[in-house]
A = this chain, B = another copy of it.
Amino acid sequence: MGKTLIFGHKNPDTDTICSALAYADLKNKLGIPAEPARLGSVNKETQFALDYFKTEAPQRIETVDNDVSEVILVDHNEFQQSVDNIKDVRIAEVVDHHRISNFETSEPLYFRAEPVGCTATILNKMYKENKIEVTKDIAGLLVSAIISDSLLLKSPTCTKEDVDAAYELAEIAGINLEAYGLEMLQAGADLSDKSVAELLTMDAKEFSMEDAKVEIAQVNAVDTAKIYALQDEINPEIEKIINEKNLDLFLFVVTDILNNDSEVLALGNGKAKVEEAFHVRLDNNNRALLKGVVSRKKQIVTALTDAFTK
């Protein structure tokens, strides 16, 4: 019997990293050996949370090795967002809060997806169901994940369950939710040292929509104008990605964490679908302001999928 690895999606965000760490902790406390892992580098927001709660980042893996007998996916299920050799490994469990797509197994498994704002909210329940206490540092990681996925409880993906879990976990973690949350989001929104290539890949996810291949990259920012000052460098970089991956659409989403809007840039043959999906007109720079849109999952992927399906 080999190892069990627990990991989230590529381009890991705070929910993906913290949920892998927490679920491995829960498994270990239940007497089941399991190791957390990650499929990419740790972003600044997540690093802020790890440092604050004195936790090491999980091991980075590129593929699942032969000594691994099964894997547990957290915070994702679509194969193109997972490890490259996902089709060759046994998936024992999935704990997630996303739509289900491009996922299949040949055997029954434990698959738990709930329409809440964050995987960490589900894990908090699983600690309770298993009657295992959440420690201070794990509580800190879980609440960081909720803050991240919900933009401090402001995203439309955020449910009452997430809010309740966030306040409960903040208390165990010994933090002020608002103050800690804003500090953590601002640490993540510090893009000053990022190259244009990094901005486009640090939180990019690929989706199949009908027959179209769509990549959506999102960054949080305090000042969106500062990012689009670089548009002359951004455009050719996106064109390169579109050609390499044969994409129908690349959507770059810059989310203003103070005003809770997003300014998007759309390139590729499918860019008209963005206008259709959001009832906006792209300007001469192929950009549009999406008022009140902050959630890739609940506001962007759904509307775009509908537009491509029509």
Contacts and interface: CB of A to CB of B under 8 A. Distances in A.
Interface of A: 97-115, 157, 297-298, 301-302, 305-306, 309
Given A104-B100, A106-B305, A302-B106, A113 B111 contact: yes
**Protomer copies:** 2
A114 B110 contact: yes
A111 to B, nearest CB: 4
B100 A111 contact: yes
Contacts of A104: 99-103
Contacts of A106: 99, 101, 301-302, 305-306, 309
Contacts of A113: 108-112
Nearest to A105: B99
A108 B101 contact: no
A98 B108 CA distance: 5
Nearest to A129: B129
Of A102, A104, A305, most B-chain CB atoms within 10 Å: A104
B115 A112 contact: no
Nearest to A297: B108
Given A100-B104, A101-B104, A104-B102, A112 B112 contact: yes
